[in-house]
Structures are given as C-alpha cells and as structure tokens.
Amino acid sequence: MELYDPSGRIGYLLWQLSHAYAQRLEQALRPLGLTQAQYSALVRLSLDGALSGAELARRCGVTAQSMGTAVQHLLERDLVERHPHPTHRKIIEISVTPSGEALALSGERAVDPCEREALEPFRPEEREEVRAHLQRMLGALNPQALGPVGDR
C-alpha cells in the first residue's frame, strides 16, 4: 500500500475546513454567549418547530449528550422550553421561545461574515454550486442535518 498526501483526500480537507470554519463561528458567536451547538439548536427549532432532543441532535449533527448540554444552557436562559409531545407521552419536545428566535436571528447576522469569508475565493456564479455540492455530500452522509424530509 502506498501513502498519499492527505491534502488530496476529501476527509482530510473537510476536517481541516470544518475546524477552520468552526473557529471563526465560535469567535462570531461568543459575544452572543452562544456555542455552535446552541446556535444550531436555536436555528433548527426556529425553522423546524418543536423537536425531541434526539431528533434535534441528529439534525444539528452532534451527539445527544452534547445537545443535552446545549439545551440545558438554553433552558437556563429561557431561550427554549420543554413540554410533553402532544401524542407520545414519553417524548419531551423542545421548542424555541420568542427570545430564542430573536437570538437565532442575531446569530445569523453574526455568522454572515464567516460565510462571506469562506466563499470569498469563488466567483459569484460558483458560490451556489459550492453550496449545492456541499449539501449533496451532507445529504449522503447525514441527510437529517438538511432538515425534515419534506423540505428536501
């Protein structure tokens, strides 16, 4: 077997890219007192409505334990609330509060410069193609992260 330069491997490139982008997101969200998982949860709940903790974790691409920690902090700040599922008594759903939705919008504004920086190397007509290719890759590896099936 022959060794390959890792910079030619998709996994290596995605890993490096995700870490570089995650650092920028963390810096952008810090003034709002949000982690990436918390921000992701607020956005997903704002877009998708109430979800169980497990489903929220799947859609945000984090472990259930990480999402549990994120949700606990959001609960303490009254940004989300928990309530029983309307038909499945054993399921507890999480929904975003109006202040949580407002903070999700502030988060969107805070991360916009990160998006612009990441897409800077591409011509305007290439940017949607890059986004579409990344969504296809994500759809192959974690389709739940793209939202409800009906939205795809």
Helices 10-29, 98-119: axis angle to 10 degrees equals: 130
pLDDT higher at 88 or 18: 18
Binned at pLDDT 50, 70 and 90, residue 150 comes out as very low
Specify the pTM.
0.85
* pLDDT tens track for 64-116: 999 999 999 999 999 999 998 888 878 899 999 999 999 999 999 999 999 99
What pLDDT score does 17 carry? Answer: 93
Strand order in the sheet with 51-52: 51-52, 92-96, 80-84
Binned at pLDDT 50, 70 and 90, residue 136 comes out as very high
Token match 């949000």: residue? 34
**Does 5 have pLDDT greater than 90?**
no
Share of the chain above pLDDT 90, in %: 76
Q: Report d(CA 51, CA 59) in Å as an integer.
A: 10
**Does 37 have pLDDT greater than 50?**
yes
